Structures are given as structure tokens and as C-alpha cells.
Structure 1
């Protein structure tokens, strides 16, 4: 039997840290602006990183070793020292960004226990923040290669919304490990032939300068690309491509494939029942696009009904008579749901970037109102400055619901001010923006303040969609992509 007194031990070690006597290490941080004192034996036994650092540093005349950590803040390092000496990390009232930066510092100093705890904490309690800062964090975690849980967290998002990475301006700069982690996924929601195109694009960007015209490529050029993509090529599902896709997309680059693989691909196109020597990977489990049976239809949205969807479809097609539930020509494919993906404005721009033909649906807090808008064109999160996009086909609306007796349709009357793509500097405040109706939050959460707004007089659109001119908060919102097909 053993009796443990960890609390007192932790307290005594913290007292040792705060005692200015007997230290033999000085750690300078923030470009040498601030410094901390410590004890080499404690640092060495708590961190392999500091053990290596101390072994490589000569003592000064007073036998003090100086470690320089210019890029870490004094606030972060103070918490690190509290952890080293006392095993205590106080995160009360800490902002999420501080927790994230602390996790990166813990990883750098090789505190696996602390790193894992902070990684788990972020995933379990700070999901909306992680999604909002998607692009920055995604690059960071794959460059360090020690955050498997965060890698899985983001890849689970990307497989459903692949445009977040594959259509991003920085796609060709992502780490090979990041690309590989996606190529290995059976549930990546992209057509296989498009995956091939993206892999080729990425490989060409990584290889040395190659001729723009493929006809001018030499054998060495193809070998260069093959070498660059040697880890990626085995994860393409070649045997699930159509014959036309093989002829149009694969054959021009056949020299980067192993001869046996190319032979087997050709054989499979002619005689698919015959066995091949190459490994045949299973097809990716692309989500079924058909809507579920009748008994499950009600769940396609938490805000509107099928009748509402039929009404919106009628407005899209400018029909006089409302579609019935049996002849609606469109499906509403969910892109974003606030209760699922979070209410941060930046989340909208991250997830909806590149999506066209979208319907925005908003449930107003404290009323029966359902308001929204339709955007024929694509949302774009890449603008340095705000940019109006012109269309005659957008409209805003209010739907009949509860005490709301009639639906309101308001078509754009000044097409040049139909849709505003917000500049990157303000995407943490503004969500979807139609000329006379927009979503806004000072607190980066549409449910935490009442800053969403709809004009009480038609300015850029024909008529107001709300009787009240007051700003409002929301309960939930959803973004759907409208595609051909029946509900």
C-alpha cells in the first residue's frame, strides 16, 4: 500500500519555481524582452526538448545557462513552467486562441501528456472555433504531424465539404501528409476523376518547372512528376473510372503509372470480369443523392417543410402556380446547419465558399418568422475588399409559418447590389449578405446578439420581408444547395 501526497508536492515545486534562489537556468522569451528563472534538473527530467537544449549550452561565468525562446509569449511560457513544476494548467477565463497556442507550445517542448489533453479539449468544447479558423489550423497541424485527433477532426469535415481544401487558393501548398490522409479516405465526396485532376495539379506544383503544354513534356518530365506523386498514385481508384475518363484524363499521364497498372487498367476496360495483377481498391462511398423514403422526408430540414421547399422552388423558376410535392424539380442538399456546424460568421464563409444556387434559411428568435434568400451565384471568401455581385435572379423572402399568415417574396430590383461578398477582414462578423437582408454578429455567434437585419423599406429589393425594422437574433440557420431532382 502506498499513500500519495501529490497536492503538497505540486505546491512545494511551484514554490521552488517562484523562489529566486539557487536557479541555474534563465529562459529568455519574446525576443529577449522577458525572462524566467528555472532549475536544470527539473527541466531535464520533465522535457526531452530542454534536456537537449541544456546539454548543448555552455555555462556562463556564474554557471548560469541561458536558453533563448524568442517566438513564445511570456504568458504562454508562464503556463508551461507552471505545468513543468507543479503539473497544473489553469485555463479558466482563457480565450480559445490562447489554448490553441499553448497546445502548439506544449508540442514543441515535447509535453505529450499536455498536448493530448489540450487537443482533446479543443475538439470536444471548441468545435465552432476550430471550424472558423479552419485554414490556419489545418496547415499548422499537418506541418507538425503530431495532432492525429485534430487531423481526423478536420478530415471528417473535408470529406463532406471537399471544396474547403481542393478549391482553396492554397490547395497546392498543403503538406503531402494532408493530401495523403484525404486520398486514403473511402468517404471522400468527390468524383474519382476529379480527385485525379487535383492530384496531378498538386504534383505539378511540387515538381520542378514543367512545360505548360503536355505535348512538350520529355521522359524526364514525366519521371519527375511520377517521383513527386509516388506516395499519392497508389490511392487513386483507377478501376472505378469510366472508359472515357481513363482515355481523357489518365492516358495523357500514363507514363507516370507503373506499366503493369496501365496494362491492367486497359484490360479492365475491355474485360472487367477478368482478374488483374494490380490491387483494386474499393469504390469511395459517395453519399447517396436520392432523398430518403417518404417516412424520413421531414428530416431534410429543421427549419422548413417540404411545402416550403416547393414554394421556394416555384420562386426560383418564376412559376405562376406553386409546385406540388409530386412535381418539385429540385432537391435541397444541406451544406451548413448552425446547430451542427456552429454559428460563427466565418464558418459560413469557410463552408459555403464556391457554392452557387444556394438558399439561406433563418429561424428568427422569439417569433414564428422564417426568413431567407436565394443566391444564384457562388459565395466567395477570397476577397481582400468587399465585392458586390450582380444578378437578376436572387430574391429574399419570408415564409408562412405559425402566426405568420402569408409568405412574402421580394425580388431584386437593383441587380448590381443583389449579393455582397464580404472582405476577409470582416468575415468574422458578417454572414450571408443580400442587399436588404444580412446576418451579422459582434460576438462571432449569430445566436448571442441581435444584430441580424432586414430593411423595413425596399432599397435594393422590391419590398421588406419583415414588418419590424428592429434587428433580430436567431435560433438556427441552414444553407441548402438547390440541385435538379425531386424532393
Structure 2
């Protein structure tokens, strides 16, 4: 048995120090004027400090004296006194000592290589003095990185800097930071700073180390670039360049491209220009952002959360690099259960998670690091049976840091989305992803932990693991997700996906104007394409611009063609910053200048309403036609250098200008002149040109065959067909009259009418009347009028759900007339508006339009008048009576009030046109009757051609009638301008 008497031994050694007998070393400590001589014993110093041993050995070689003398000028006498007591007695006390004095002891102990004391003091400061080190961070940081012995303090400093990097980067001494310290900081994945700021500070450090005084790289010499490149050679590989936006790249990185690795720069450039470009395996992932109000998880990071959130809202990545450049975080994740904290039993799962909607589950697989999970918009239950869902999905990630190889599997069999039972925890599809306990084990012990965990594909689209064997859980977490307060761009994203399916859920409490503005933009995009595969790309580009202030921006465009392939590219810039870009491959036969025009139209589609846009084109043809057809508003002609296709394009541009209230100004730029926007647009068009179909090719076809006649559209859907042939014109005008009679529908779009749909007013009226929020009779009547359009309104499904009986009924809600027709709107016995009032209103509107002295373009009022006379006045189409009836009404209402001869001539011409319409109607009816007679007689076209029966079989149409036909045709041509 051995006994240790260390306290007495320590005391004896302290007495030796204090009595200084038999000393053989003198130590001069400090600097003038604070200098003190200490006496000590060589044998003790040499065995207690390797630094002092080496120093004393060197002193002995240079001095043959028995008494040795050394100097320690870096240590103060007060500090060395504490060190000596430690060396002799192994004693150190922090009681009643100032923290700075203790820190000086640590510095001295490190210099003297007293590693035992160094390790103790590092732990002491980290455990007890973190506040002091944060307040004196610059001192702590500078001292810790001077030595390889202060690793724990170095770790503390880098952790602190990663969390609060501005503390060091914004300090005055930042540029004097050792390279080792800078590298330890910028290599961290959890550095809480934007990557562009990291790049700016690293560059600032590099310039200081290279002694480059000129900050503008345009004025650097090749030798300056070489100096900076050599200085930063160990730092540049640690910058996450691929996390930068295109704007940051162009503005902050591109000017310094000569210091970057050529291959890295080329990859960067391709990643911004080509959305299909695949990132390499050596690309660093974005740094992890610590956002406390998003999620507190031991299993996943924000990169995974962003990906899951995109899947929930069905937001596709707009490029292969999206996961590197942007986090999508519209949800807050509230922890319901953590296995390592609450347990792994089904009982605990149902206790904490039942009846909680909108949950996401993360499971970490033991031994592999895999992360499995699923999203359930439904409630979890412990009662047995299947449950359905349309929006659930399961997923997997190879690890916490690997999101490139993730697998998403959405529900396939919607009736078997979940399986509920008391022995099951979360069970997606029964076995697609299931945590459960064997039935027999569960009956024996209801609190038993999961022992039957499996992934076997049945009711979901894909297998999410490489094996279907059972697995063990290291940990699992269940979160309930809730919407955060969203930015504008996140609101746009959420509204777009499944817009009408989610209207009922998202409509309440949302800004109606915002919903409608986005929907209007979506409508315009859909009307612009025959093939809408490019719609998602435009939607993403539009949303990327959502948070930018679009007051005065520039649009650069270009088109390319080669071997029958066409490509376009566009770049949107705000001053020198790129805020939007895109490219498409175009199908069809086009000239290069036509491709340029298509690029302009599609580029404009992503720009907000009311923006001022400066358009830069290198096509002189586009510039000339802009001034001729748009600015000067000359005749649309097909007998010029442009063809009918280009007329459709220019009409689209003009229509969009008015629809979205853009202020457009065109400028000519010289191609390949080095202008950034033009060069990028040219590169994008060439990339699109070379795109292959097996790489998610996007081919769009701009709708060229725009019917500028009288068809009636809502969105892209044709509501009423009105062919061009003159014998069907009465039907066109009748259709227009029907819609024009309802004021609420005045904003429907005709091909040749540039009006917008007033959805705000329409939806508000419908919501009030059909949601029983307002039973006021006027609102009900308005809703009745709108009800006729429900089949083409986006809210039809919503209204049907809220009041199916009223929606599905065909009866009139005012008089219960069972067979509802358009005519019934006018003749309803309970209608508040009389025919006389309708006529008065029509003529008052006509008069207001005539005040603009160009009555011919307002043919909608001609149509309304015709409808009124035909349906209400019961005037037969019979020459003189019809003519006199019109003339009398017109004279009564307008001629008595108008003295101007031009106005009188206008009204007279209007009356003549109406008369010609009646004659035309008679002619079309007779032709129709004769065609029916021919069919009954079995007369074919061949028979008519052989016997000229067609001309000789019109006994009722003599020479005068044929003249009348030509007269009518001419009148219609004068009136419409299209026949």
C-alpha cells in the first residue's frame, strides 16, 4: 500500500523558492521600467519547463560562470511570480484574481511550454469566462492563433466567428489576420455570412497582403493579378462561388476572373447561362444557415428543409444549381416528437402526434446515415384502417450533407396513402415507409419500441431505398409545419402551384389583388403559346424578379439559327446587375430578326406591369418595324418585307404593351461589341440552339395564328366561336350583344378589343352572394348574371362545393324559369331593367363614344342595338319597316341634340350599316334555305359544275338581288375593315 504526501511536498518546495537558498539561476523578467530579478534553482526549472531547460542549456554554453542568468522580457514580473509558484509547488489559484491577469498567465504558460497549465487554463476560460472572451475577442483571437498549443481557444474563436463573423471581418485588424486563421474560418460550413460578403472580405485581405493599393481591377496590370492570385491560392478553393447569384457573379466576381482558375470560371459561366448544366462532384455545398425560427433538428439541416418545402408546394428547381443558390423556407417546423427524447414506441407517437395535420417526419437509419421521411397533410390516428390523400409523399437522402441524390416519391394509390393502427407509428402506404411493432410483441407490451421498420414500394411512385430489408432507427423526429409570413416572391410561388385546387384553402385571408395579378400574368403566358412547356421556366423567371424594384430596367435579346434549329436568349438588367435571364429553343421556320422579336416578347412576359423597359436589339429590321408599326401606327400590310407571321408577332407585342402598361423604348446596339447584356443574350441563344431533347429540352411555339376577328376568349379558351365568313356575321354580333348586355362582363376579351377582365369585381360579387355573406337583392341579381359564366370561371369548382344546389340548377333565381337561355335574361318577368331603359342606356353609351369622333371602331354598340331591336322591339327583318324603325329611334335620341354635320353624317352612316346588315341577313337566310333545298334534291358539286345548275337555280335572286349582294358585301367591308 502506498500513500502520497503531495501537499507537504508542495509546501516544502514553495519554502525553497521563498528562502532562495542555494540558488544558481537569476531570471530578469519584464521591460523597463517594470523589471525584477528572480532567484531560482536550475534543477527545478529544467525538469518543470522544456523551454527553460533549453534556454538554460544555451546560457551555460555561452557562460562558464557557476551562476546562470536569463532574460524573459515578454512576461511581466507579476505574472512570472505566479508562474514560479506553479513551477515549484504545482499550485495555481484563480480566486480573487483579475481575469486579464489570469489570461496573461495563460500567455506566459504557453511561451514557457507549461502544457499542463495551458490545458487547464483553456478549459477554465471556455467553461467560466466565455463572456469575457467575447468582449475581448480581438485579444483572444490574436493570442490563440499565435500558438499551436491553444487549440481549444482557437476552436472557440472560430465557432464564435462563424456565428458572428462581422466581429472579426469588420475589425480594424482584419487585414493583418494570419492566413491560417482566415482559412480556418472560411472553410467552415456554418459560417453565418452571405457568400458574396465572404468573397469581398477575402479579396480585401488578399489586396492588403499583396500591397495592391488600386481597388479598381480595370486598372490592374497582369503582375497585380498574379500577386493577388498567388496570395489567395489557398483561400480561393474554399469560396462557394456556385452559391452566388448571377447578379453577384457579374458585378463582384467577373472583374477578377484573371485570379480564378480557368476551369472553375468556365463552369461558373455555364451554370448561369445553361439551366440544364450539371454541377460537378467537387462543388462545395452552400453554408448552413442557422435560423432559429425555422427548425431545431438533430437530423436535417436547412438545405434539406428547403428541398422538402419545395416538394410540399410543388416548386421545381429552375436549374440544376438552384439548390446551391437559394433556400426556400416558407414554413416553420414545430417539433412534436423526438425519439431520443420521448421514446420510440407507437404509443408515444400517437400520444404526441395524433390529430395533428400537416406533419413531416424525418428518420435517421442506424448504421448508414440515410435520412428517410414523409409528408402528411392529413391527421394521424390510432384507429385501424386506410386513409386517402392526394398530396402526401415520401423521400430519402443519402446523408445530411448529400441532397443531390435525393429521391422523391409521391402518392400513386390515393386511397391507400396511410395505414392507421395502434401498433403502427407513421405508416405511409402500409409498407412504402413504415415504423411499427410486431403485432404479437405489441400485444405483450404496448410500450415496446419499433422493431418492424420497412421500405417496400407499393402505393407510392418509387422505391426510396436501395434495399427493401428491415432497418433500425438511430433517431426520428416529427414536426408540424406552419406558414411563416411570406415574402412577395414566396407568395407568388405558393399561389401558382395548383392554383385553383388550392383556392378554397388559400383564398381566405389572402390579398385578393395579389392573387388576381399573378393569375392575370399566368393567363397572358398561356395565351402566348400553343405548346406550354416553356411556361414553368417563364413562371420561375417571373418570380425571381418579384422582389426587384422594376422602374427602369434594360432588356437585351438575341436570336440564333443553324441547320433548321432556332434559339433565343434574353437578359434583364438593372443598371449593371443581372436580375433575370432565360433561353428557349423555338420550333418553326423563322428569320433571325423574327427570333429576335420572339425573344423580346417572351423576355417582356417576365417583367412586372407598369415597368419602364429599355430594349436593346442588334436587329435593324426589328428597330425599323417598331417605329413603323407601333410608334407611327401605320397600316398592317402583308405586301412588304414582313409576312403574315410577323404581323401576328407585332400584334402580340402591341396587345401586351397595352395590357401590361409597359413604357417601352427601343435602342440599337452593335452585335458582338462587348456589351455585357448583349453578349450574355447571344450566348444564351446559342446554348438553347444546341440543346438536345434528351436533356429536358424546352421547345415553345408562339401562337402565330391569332384570329383577329370576333371570337370571344377567356384565357386561352374559346368561349364563343365566330367564323369570318360574312353569312355568319349575324351570329358573331348576336354573341357580342349577349355579353355586352351584362355590364359585369364588359371586360371579356375579344380578339380585336384590348380590354382586361375585371375579376376583382366579379369574384367579390360571387363570393358574397354564393357564400351567404350578403343576401342583398342587388348582389344576388348581379351574381345571377355572372352565374352564366361559371363554367368558364376559375372559381366554378369552389362555388359548386359551397352551394351545389344553386350552382347546378339551371333555373332563374328570380322567377324560377326552368329553361334558362340568354334571351331569358331580357324577358324575365322579375327583371328590374325594362327594355326602354336598356335602349336609353345603349344610346347614351353610343353618344359618349361618338364624342370621340371615330364611331366606326365601336362596333360593339352596333351589335347591342341590333340585339335590342331584334329581341325586344320585335321588328321583323323586312326592308323598309326595319330601316324606318332604326331611323326614328336614332332621330329621336340623337339628331335633336347634335348640330355638328360630322356627327350627323356619322349617325346616318351608322343607320345605313344597320340597314345593310338586315339585307345581308335576308340574303344569308335565303342562301341557307336554297342549300337545304339542294341537299333534299341530291344535287352535288359535280352536278352543279357540269350543268351550271348553281347559277340557273336561283329564280328568286334576280339581277337586282345580285347587285344588292355586292352592295352588302361592300358595306360590311367598310364597316368591319376585315372582310
Q: Which of the five TM-score ranges fits, normalised by the shorter chain?
A: 0.5 to 0.7
Asked whether 1:235 is paired with 2:235, we answer no
SS of structure 2 residue aligned to 1:159: helix
The alpha-carbon distance between structure 1 residues 30 and 263, as it changes in their structure 2 partners (threshold 3 A), is same
- Deviation, 1:62, is 4.8
Distance across 2 between alignment mates of 1:198 and 1:63: 56
C-alpha contact (below 8 Å) 1:226/1:257 kept by paired residues: yes
Deviations 1:447-469 (A, max 9, x none): xxxxxxxxxxxxxxxxxxxxxxx
- Deviation, 1:229, is 0.9
- Deviation, 1:68, is 1.0
Alignment partner for residue 171 of structure 1, among 164, 171, 174? Answer: 174
> Unmatched 5+ residue regions in structure 2?
296-331, 336-508, 511-979
- Deviation, 1:272, is 5.9
Partner of 1:30: 30
C-alpha contact (below 8 Å) 1:192/1:237 kept by paired residues: yes
Where in structure 2 are the equivalents of 1:333-344 lying within 5 Å? none
Alignment partner for residue 285 of structure 1, among 281, 288, 291? Answer: 288
Deviations 1:301-325 (A, max 9, x none): xxxxxxxxxxxxxxxxxxxxxxxxx
TM score, norm. by length of structure 1: 0.57
Alignment partner for residue 104 of structure 1, among 76, 101, 107? Answer: 107
Partner of 1:180: 183
Partner of 1:132: 135
- Deviation, 1:11, is 2.7
The alpha-carbon distance between structure 1 residues 74 and 169, as it changes in their structure 2 partners (threshold 3 A), is closer
Partner of 1:44: 46
Partner of 1:356: none
SS of structure 2 residue aligned to 1:57: helix
SS of structure 1 residue aligned to 2:9: helix
SS of structure 2 residue aligned to 1:72: coil
C-alpha contact (below 8 Å) 1:260/1:277 kept by paired residues: no
Asked whether 1:83 is paired with 2:83, we answer no
C-alpha contact (below 8 Å) 1:192/1:236 kept by paired residues: yes
Distance across 2 between alignment mates of 1:61 and 1:262: 65
Asked whether 1:150 is paired with 2:153, we answer yes
C-alpha contact (below 8 Å) 2:29/2:71 kept by paired residues: yes
Distance across 1 between alignment mates of 2:280 and 2:131: 46
Partner of 1:55: 57
Deviations 1:424-453 (A, max 9, x none): xxxxxxxxxxxxxxxxxxxxxxxxxxxxxx
C-alpha contact (below 8 Å) 2:218/2:255 kept by paired residues: no
Partner of 2:458: none
Distance across 2 between alignment mates of 1:163 and 1:80: 36
Asked whether 1:19 is paired with 2:33, we answer no
- Deviation, 1:136, is 2.4
Where in structure 2 are the equivalents of 1:387-402 lying within 5 Å? none
C-alpha contact (below 8 Å) 2:243/2:286 kept by paired residues: yes
Distance across 2 between alignment mates of 1:244 and 1:177: 31
Q: Which has the higher relative contact order, 1 or 2, with Cα contacts under 8 A spaced 6 or more apart?
A: 1
C-alpha contact (below 8 Å) 1:30/1:70 kept by paired residues: yes
Deviations 1:54-90 (A, max 9, x none): 1211475751110111232222111111111221112
Deviations 1:360-399 (A, max 9, x none): xxxxxxxxxxxxxxxxxxxxxxxxxxxxxxxxxxxxxxxx
Partner of 1:197: 200
- Deviation, 1:177, is 2.1
Kindly indicate which of the two structures has a greater share of residues assigned to helix.
Answer: 2
Distance across 2 between alignment mates of 1:20 and 1:42: 13
Where in structure 2 are the equivalents of 1:108-127 lying within 5 Å? 108-127=111-130
RMSD (Å), alpha carbons? 2.6
Q: Which structure: larger Rg?
A: 2
- Deviation, 1:258, is 1.8
- Deviation, 1:234, is 1.1
C-alpha contact (below 8 Å) 1:260/1:278 kept by paired residues: no
- Deviation, 1:263, is 2.3
Partner of 2:908: none
The alpha-carbon distance between structure 1 residues 139 and 80, as it changes in their structure 2 partners (threshold 3 A), is same
Distance across 1 between alignment mates of 2:29 and 2:101: 16
Asked whether 1:263 is paired with 2:266, we answer yes
Deviations 1:31-65 (A, max 9, x none): 37311111222212221211221121147575111
Distance across 1 between alignment mates of 2:205 and 2:260: 16
Distance across 1 between alignment mates of 2:3 and 2:275: 69
Deviations 1:256-309 (A, max 9, x none): 12222222222333446555667211110123386674969xxxxxxxxxxxxx
Where in structure 2 are the equivalents of 1:378-389 lying within 5 Å? none
C-alpha contact (below 8 Å) 2:86/2:92 kept by paired residues: yes
C-alpha contact (below 8 Å) 2:115/2:149 kept by paired residues: no
Distance across 2 between alignment mates of 1:3 and 1:178: 47
Of 68-77 and 265-274, deviating more is 265-274
Distance across 2 between alignment mates of 1:61 and 1:53: 15
C-alpha contact (below 8 Å) 1:139/1:175 kept by paired residues: no
SS of structure 1 residue aligned to 2:38: strand
Alignment partner for residue 244 of structure 1, among 219, 244, 247? Answer: 247
Distance across 2 between alignment mates of 1:215 and 1:253: 9
The alpha-carbon distance between structure 1 residues 216 and 107, as it changes in their structure 2 partners (threshold 3 A), is same
Distance across 1 between alignment mates of 2:74 and 2:115: 20
